[in-house]
Amino acid sequence: MKFGVIVFPGSNCDRDVAYVTRELLGSSTRMVWHQDTDISDLDVIIVPGGFSYGDYLRCGAIARFSNVMNSILDHGKQGKWVLGICNGFQILTEVGLLPGALVRNRDLHFICDRVPLKIERTDLPWTRHYTPQQVITLPIAHGEGRYYADPDTLKQLEDQQQILFRYCSATGAVNDSSNPNGSLNNIAGIVNSSGNVLGMMPHPERASDPILQATDGMALFQGLLDGVLVG
């Protein structure tokens, strides 16, 4: 089981992710420069958070044309694991591995906070170590995190249960007041129709080391490791 963490100019969560997979999870991890193209040795590709290419034009718009992206597209289309966190989620929507787009937060603020999230599905490796409808807390840090998709796409996401994480209240209520950024249907994270590509605005890697007093994100990485090994 080998992790690859993509590094763009402007990525800033790449080392946090690698710390989790390498040091906390004990898994082989390789940093992948955005100009590399051979990622055939990797099982899981993580596109980390940050501000790739300074968020110029649109978040993720320029990163999607990096050399490594064609290899990531192939990796995802072969059914292998791809995780996009924050800016990584934005990049995965820009490149078309995930539907929809992330646009400016409803209230225009850059939000840096810890928010409750509801786990909608636990039959995928990403969430197998959580329980259905469990409420967890993860950090968010974004200015453009409001999930948008056209009504047909949104219906498909709901019908095919592609929404893994929703913003909710501390008691699990999913409504407008528990929606920090105005995302449609309180969406915080979605998978593609086959479930192997996950994009999420919250940062599980920032809630994995016990020294930070927040560890709700670790189960995602551990679940992926265990789930993929089991097969």
Under rule CB under 8 A, residue 100 binds another protein = yes
Among 21, 52, 71, 105, binds another protein (CB under 8 A): 105
Under rule CB under 8 A, residue 150 binds another protein = yes
Please pick, among 13, 59, 86, 168, the residue that the annotation labels catalytic: 86
109 a catalytic residue? no
Closer CB to another protein, 123 or 150, in the complex: 150
13 a catalytic residue? no
User: What does residue 80 show for φ and ψ, rounded to 5 degrees?
Assistant: -80, 170
Among 23, 107, 113, 123, binds another protein (CB under 8 A): 107
Under rule CB under 8 A, residue 174 binds another protein = no
Residues that bind another protein (CB under 8 A): 57-58, 61-62, 65, 93-94, 99-101, 103-108, 146, 148-150, 182
Active site members: 86, 203, 205
